[in-house]
Amino acid sequence: MKIVVQLILMIPILCLHAQQIKTTQDVGAWMGATLKYDLTKDLDLSLSQDIRFQESLSELDKYISEIGLSYKINKEFRIGGELRYYINQKRDETQSQNWRYNLDFKYRTKLIKHLKFRYRLRHQTAYENLFTAQPNKGESKSAIRNRVGLFYKLKNHHELYFTTEIFRTILYYRKPYFSELRFVVGDEIETKYGQFDLSFGYERELNSLYPLHFMFTRVYYTFKL
């Protein structure tokens, strides 16, 4: 982590917030930790904290706290839901305090030896500035997300993966549209201290005249009680 901080400090801060100035390329970093607890044999509870940076890692993007439940239906199917509170620092320099819930349907299957296929369908709805005195409080933004991924198990507790995900955003004042495409390549590493997920991602805005190309590193740590 020390090197990350050093790199952040090296980058000059560029802080422009005119609407006429559109960020079309950016680098960010997502870091988080999750605590998992088995409530029953098939039901997990998770608590997580997540911090994300944007603008070449020079600015806070989001600070996230999340609680979630996941239920294993059988070996292949799982359903779950999360409730998230997050502070969102937008690119126009405004900030919002949002609440979001996710509903997940997950499927996983073994394709060949060591190679697994995973699919996640997520419905999410975020409420902007809910419980605040902001004029636009409670405006909702929903999305349907479809993610598919291939996971390859290596020796030494490593599992390499590649996922791709498309976002379809639903706003009440606009017809639903595909808003984002995300690719992530990473490694899930099991250690005696828990699981580390190190990955690199690329996001591209869709349906935009000047789409944002966003690259990010992700470092997540999960500890199971």
Site stretch for other proteins (CB under 8 A), options 24-32, 41-49, 108-116, 147-155: 24-32
Q: In this complex, which beta carbon is closest to other proteins, that of residue 68 or of residue 216?
A: 216
Specify whether the backbone of 186 is left (phi greater than 0), alpha (psi in -120 to 50) or beta.
beta
User: Does 74 help bind other proteins (rule: CB under 8 A)?
Assistant: no
The span from the CA of 49 to the CA of 35, in Å, is 9
Residues with Cβ within 8 Å of residue 168, at least 6 apart in sequence: 143, 144, 145, 146, 176, 177, 178, 179
Considering only 112, 136, 155, 193, the residue that binds other proteins (CB under 8 A) is 136
Q: In this complex, which beta carbon is closest to other proteins, that of residue 5 or of residue 67?
A: 5
Please report how close the Cβ of residue 173 comes to other proteins at its closest, in angstroms: 5
Please report how close the Cβ of residue 76 comes to other proteins at its closest, in angstroms: 30
Q: What angle do CA 161, 164, 165 make, to 5 degrees?
A: 135
Considering only 5, 14, 47, 115, the residue that binds other proteins (CB under 8 A) is 14
CA 6 to chain centre: 24
User: Does 55 help bind other proteins (rule: CB under 8 A)?
Assistant: yes
Q: Return the sign of the alpha-carbon dihedral for residues 156, 32, 44, 168.
A: negative
Per-residue x/- mask for other proteins, residues 156 to 195, rule CB under 8 A? ---------------xxxxx-------------x------
